[in-house]
A and B are shown apart, each in its own frame.
Chain A
């Protein structure tokens, strides 16, 4: 939630967010099966709304996600699972793309 609030403030201040990268347990923000109690925020939906508003790429580390059971439709099919839970607007990459993109970024902020 803090990360999202920070991102929203950055956008209000007219900064450009190159990407939001989800790593380690952060990949759970992309798990479409997350279903918190009704009085708690649903981060998956909140990030999707942020993407809708700003078109900021929401990128999930494919290895960290798979390790934690967050799979895209394609991966699930390849591995023979009947369900998948990583949906657009989240997309997947490896650390390679993250570090390539980092060359063109001024600031990295971690939550």
Chain B
């Protein structure tokens, strides 16, 4: 069993990157690995509450909210990226623990594998 950190670095609907990142994360826990998610850079915009997804696309926010059903509860975000991209009082779809850059680096160092989307 491995700890896999999945880094999300893109906005929710930029092609299929974010969607495939979640597919990957959910498949990992399905097959006996531990997964934690870290949202950095533009990836923090995935955490914001959305009104409606673009036509034809699966709601990314809904999938994030369903992560506990896939045994993924550890969600982290880059505090600096959050500050740069989202308003202080922005409504969030899910709660991710904000971490400093150093804390994120430590998280990555302590993971068995890191995969970036």
- A residues contacting B by CB (< 8 A) are 23-24, 63-64, 67, 94-96, 98-100, 102-103, 107-108, 110
A24, A99, A108: residue with the most chain B Cβ atoms closer than 10 Å = A99
A/B interface sample: 24 pairs, CB < 8 A: A24-B16, A24-B17, A24-B20, A24-B117, A67-B16, A94-B27, A95-B23, A95-B24, A95-B27, A95-B28, A96-B31, A98-B27, A99-B30, A99-B31, A99-B32, A99-B33, A102-B2, A102-B33, A103-B2, A103-B32, A107-B113, A108-B113, A108-B115, A110-B116
User: 1/0 per residue B26-62: CB within 8 Å of A?
Assistant: 0110111100000000000000000000000000000
**Within 8 Å CB of A23, what residues of B?**
20, 24
Q: Check A64/B20 contact, CB under 8 A, given A99-B32, A99-B33, A102-B113.
A: yes
Q: Which residue of A lies closest to B20 (CB)?
A: A24
Give the secondary structure class of B's interface. Answer: mixed
Task: Give the total number of A-B pairs whose CB atoms are below 8 A apart.
Answer: 40
Q: Which residue of B lies closest to A107 (CB)?
A: B113
Interface residues on B, range: 10 to 19
A102 to B24 CA separation, bound complex (whole angstroms) = 13
Give the secondary structure class of A's interface. Answer: helix
- B residues contacting A by CB (< 8 A) are 1-2, 16-17, 20, 23-24, 27-28, 30-33, 113-117
Q: Are A110 and B33 in contact, CB atoms less than 8 angstroms apart? A: no
A47 to B66 CA separation, bound complex (whole angstroms) = 38
Q: Check A96/B113 contact, CB under 8 A, given A24-B17, A102-B33, A103-B1.
A: no
Q: Which residue of A lies closest to B29 (CB)?
A: A99
Q: Which residue of B lies closest to A64 (CB)?
A: B20
**Within 8 Å CB of B16, what residues of A?**
24, 67
Shortest distance between the CB of B14 and any CB in chain A (Å): 12
